[in-house]
C-alpha cells in the first residue's frame, strides 16, 4: 500500500549507517513513522530535521509494517530559527510534544493546522509564542482533555475569570476562588482570564499559560513516567523565564 | 552453513561493525583467513592491545592509551581555547582539518528528547569547571547544524555565561564546492545571514 500527503517532520534518528527513522505528522493520517533509506548521507540531510514541511510518500507491503518514506523537502523552518534559542526551543518543544503525545496513525487535523501556523509564525513575526500556547490548549482538546475556560465552574459567571481548577480543568472566577487561590492555576489573559495583575506583562502571562497547559499535559501524557513531558519543553519554559527575569520581554509580545 | 563455529562466530562479530552486513562480514572473514599471518594475527594482537589500554581522558573525554590524552599533554597546544564536540569522531574530524590548535572537550552526546538524553547525562559540569578555571579565553561550540545540536549549543552558551570565556560557534553556510542551485533554502538563508564584507 502507498499514500502521499504533505506533512511536518517531528523527529529523525539515525538507523544504521545511512538511513533515518523519521516521524512525520500529516493532516489526515496523523503521526506516522517510516524509514528513509540513504537519507542520512544524501545531500538533502539538512532538511530532514524537525519542523520541515515535506511532501511525504509512505509505502509498505502491509499497513502494519514500519514502511518506507520518500520525502521531498519544502520549507525547513528550523533552519530559519537555528540561531534564535527561544524560537528554536519553541519549535523543538512543539515537535517533541506531538511525537510524545499523539498516538500513531490517528488523524488530528486541528493539531496539524495549529503546528503549521506556529512554524510559519516562528520565521515571520512575534505572534509565535501566543500561537504556541493556544496550540497546546487545542492539543489537549483534540486528545479529549479540553479545558472549560468559558465560565466559572462555581458561579457560572463569564467575567473576572482568574483561575483554573487543577483537578477538573474548569475556570474559576476571582470571587469564587477566595480562600482557594494558592491551590488553583492562574488563567492568563491570553486564554481569556484576567491574569495575575493588570500590569502583568504578556511574557509572564505566557509562562502562566504554559504552566497551565503543562499541568494537564503532564497528567494525561505518560503520567506514569518520572518526567512525562519532553525535556525540550521544560528547557524552553526555563529559558523564557530567565529572559523575562532579565528583560521586559518585549520579544515575546504579540 | 559449511563453516565451523569459530568461523561463524567471527562472521557474526564482524557483521556487527558499522558498514558491514553479513555478506561483507563473510568476505572480510575469508580475506583474514587467507592472510592469517600477515593480517589476522597482527589484527588480533592490535585488538587485544587496544582493548587493554584505551581509556577516556579524564580531562577532555578523548580516547587514548595515555592519561591525560596526547592532546591534553601536548605543550604546543593553545591552552586558552577549548573546542567542544559531540563525540570523539568529531574531534578526529577537526584534527584532520589541522585548523584548531587548542584543546578539546568531548560532551559524549547531545540533548535529545527522542533518545532521552538530558543535561546531566553529558559532561557539561566538567566543561563549565574547565572554562571557569581562569586561563580559558574562548570556548568554540562545534556542534552539528541540527535542531538537537544547536539546542545543545544554546544550552551550553547559557551554562558558560558566567565562566568569563568568550563563547563562539561554527559558521553555517555554503560548503566548499557547493553549488547554490543545489543547496536547501535553510542553508542558503543561514549563509546570507552570516555574509561578510570582502
Q: Where are the domains of chain A?
A: 2-76, 87-150+191-246
**Mapping DSSP to helix (H, G, I), strand (E, B) and coil, where does residue B107 land?**
coil
**Are B113 and B43 in a shared domain?**
no
State residue A221's pLDDT score. 79
CA A10/CA A100 separation, integer angstroms: 10
Question: How far is B139 from chain A, CA to nearest CA, in Å?
Answer: 17
CA A122/CA A125 separation, integer angstroms: 7
Chain B: residue nearest A44 by CA? B184
Chain B: residue nearest A232 by CA? B113
**Are B105 and B140 in a shared domain?**
yes
| pLDDT, average across residues B122-136 | 93
Cβ separation A88–B154 shorter than 8 A: yes
> What b-and-e string marks burial along B155-172, b requiring 16 or more CB atoms within 10 Å of the CB?
bbeebbeebebebebeeb
**Full-model pTM:** 0.85
Which residue matches cell numbers 501556523? A117
| For residue A198, pLDDT beyond 80 | no
* Residue A46: burial class (beta carbons within 10 Å; 0-12, 13-18, 19+): buried
- Concatenate the DSSP letters of all residues of B63-94 into one string: EESSSS-HHHH-TTSEEEEEEEESSHHHHHHH
Fold of A2-76: OB fold (Dihydrolipoamide Acetyltransferase, E2P) (2.40.50)
Nearest to A231 among B19, B118, B158 (CB): B118
A24 preceded by a cis bond (ω within 30 of 0): no
Nearest to A92 among B19, B145, B147 (CB): B147
- Which pLDDT tens digit goes with each residue over B54-105? 999 999 999 999 999 999 999 999 999 999 999 999 999 999 999 999 999 9
Cβ separation B186–A76 shorter than 8 A: yes
Q: C-alpha grid cell for residue B5?
A: 563455529
State residue A202's pLDDT score. 79
Cβ separation B186–A78 shorter than 8 A: yes
Higher pLDDT, B115 or A54: A54
Number of independent structural domains in chain B: 2
Instruction: Spell out which residues of chain A touch residue B178, defining contact as CB-CB under 8 Å.
Output: none
Higher pLDDT, B123 or A196: B123
Please give the biggest Cα pair distance in chain B: 67
| For residue A177, pLDDT beyond 60 | yes
- The pLDDT confidence band at residue A249, using thresholds 50, 70 and 90, is very low
CA A23/CA A66 separation, integer angstroms: 11
The parent domain of residue B31 ranges over 5-52
State residue A148's pLDDT score. 94
Q: Does A44 touch chain B (CB under 8 A)?
A: yes
Q: What is the average pLDDT score of chain B?
A: 92
Q: Does B118 touch chain A (CB under 8 A)?
A: yes
State residue B29's pLDDT score. 96
**Are B83 and B32 in a shared domain?**
no
Whether B89 maps to a domain, the answer reads yes
Phi, psi of A122 (to 5 degrees): -55, -40
Q: How far is CA A145 from CA A14, A156, A166, A216, B125, in A?
A: 34, 20, 12, 8, 39
**Are B48 and B84 in a shared domain?**
no
| For residue A254, pLDDT beyond 50 | no
| pLDDT, average across residues B104-123 | 91
- The pLDDT confidence band at residue A139, using thresholds 50, 70 and 90, is very high
Q: Does B187 touch chain A (CB under 8 A)?
A: yes
- Comparing CA positions, the residue from A244, A242, A93, A85 lying closest to residue B154 is A85
Cβ separation A79–B113 shorter than 8 A: no
Amino acid at each position: 500500500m502507498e499514500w502521499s500527503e504533505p506533512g511536518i517532520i517531528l523527529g529523525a534518528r539515525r538507523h544504521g549507517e545511512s538511513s533515518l527513522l523519521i516521524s512525520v505528522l500529516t493532516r489526515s493520517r496523523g503521526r506516522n513513522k517510516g524509514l528513509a533509506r540513504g537519507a542520512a548521507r544524501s545531500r538533502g540531510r539538512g532538511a530532514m530535521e524537525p519542523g520541515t514541511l515535506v511532501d511525504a510518500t509512505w509505502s509498505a507491503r502491509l499497513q502494519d509494517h514500519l514502511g518506507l518514506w520518500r520525502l521531498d523537502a519544502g520549507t525547513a523552518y528550523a533552519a530559519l530559527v537555528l540561531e534564535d534559542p527561544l524560537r528554536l526551543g519553541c519549535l523543538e518543544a512543539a515537535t517533541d510534544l506531538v511525537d510524545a503525545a499523539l498516538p500513531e496513525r490517528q488523524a488530528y487535523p486541528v493539531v496539524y493546522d495549529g503546528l503549521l501556523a506556529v512554524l510559519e509564525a516562528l520565521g515571520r513575526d512575534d505572534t509565535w509564542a501566543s500561537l504556541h500556547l493556544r496550540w497546546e490548549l487545542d492539543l489537549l482538546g483534540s486528545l479529549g482533555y479540553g479545558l472549560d475556560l468559558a465560565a466559572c465552574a462555581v458561579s457560572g459567571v463569564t467575567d473576572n475569570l482568574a483561575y483554573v481548577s487543577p483537578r477538573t480543568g474548569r475556570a474559576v472566577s476571582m470571587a469564587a476562588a477566595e480562600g482557594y487561590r494558592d491551590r488553583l492555576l492562574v488563567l492568563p489573559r491570553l486564554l481569556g482570564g484576567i491574569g495575575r495583575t493588570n500590569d502583568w506583562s504578556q511574557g509572564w502571562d505566557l509562562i502562566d499559560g504554559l504552566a497551565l497547559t503543562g499541568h494537564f499535559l503532564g497528567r494525561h501524557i505518560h503520567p506514569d513516567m518520572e518526567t512525562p513531558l519532553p525535556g525540550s519543553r521544560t528547557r524552553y519554559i526555563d529559558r523564557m523565564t530567565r529572559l523575562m527575569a532579565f528583560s521586559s520581554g518585549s520579544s515575546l509580545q504579540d | 552453513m559449511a563453516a565451523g563455529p569459530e568461523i561463524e562466530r567471527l562472521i557474526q562479530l564482524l557483521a556487527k561493525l558499522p558498514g558491514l552486513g553479513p555478506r561483507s562480514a563473510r568476505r572480510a572473514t575469508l580475506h583474514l583467513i587467507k592472510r592469517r599471518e600477515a593480517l589476522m594475527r597482527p589484527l588480533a594482537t592490535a585488538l587485544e592491545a587496544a582493548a587493554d589500554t584505551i581509556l577516556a581522558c579524564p580531562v577532555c573525554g578523548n580516547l587514548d592509551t595515555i592519561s591525560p590524552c596526547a592532546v591534553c599533554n601536548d605543550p604546543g597546544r593553545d591552552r586558552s581555547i577549548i573546542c567542544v564536540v559531540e563525540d570523539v569522531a568529531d574531534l578526529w574530524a577537526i584534527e584532520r582539518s589541522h585548523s584548531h590548535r587548542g584543546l578539546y572537550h568531548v560532551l559524549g552526546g547531545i540533548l535529545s528528547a527522542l533518545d532521552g538524553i538530558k543535561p546531566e547525562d553529558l559532561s557539561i559540569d566538567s566543561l563549565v569547571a574547565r572554562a571557569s578555571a581562569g586561563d580559558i579565553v574562548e570556548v568554540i561550540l562545534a556542534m552539528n547544524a541540527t535542531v538537537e545540536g544547536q539546542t545543545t549549543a544554546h544550552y551550553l552558551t547559557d551554562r558558560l555565561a558566567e565562566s568569563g570565556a568568550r563563547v563562539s560557534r561554527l559558521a553555517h553556510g555554503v560548503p566548499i564546492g557547493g553549488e547554490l542551485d543545489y543547496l536547501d533554502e535553510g542553508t542558503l538563508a543561514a549563509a546570507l545571514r552570516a555574509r561578510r564584507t570582502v
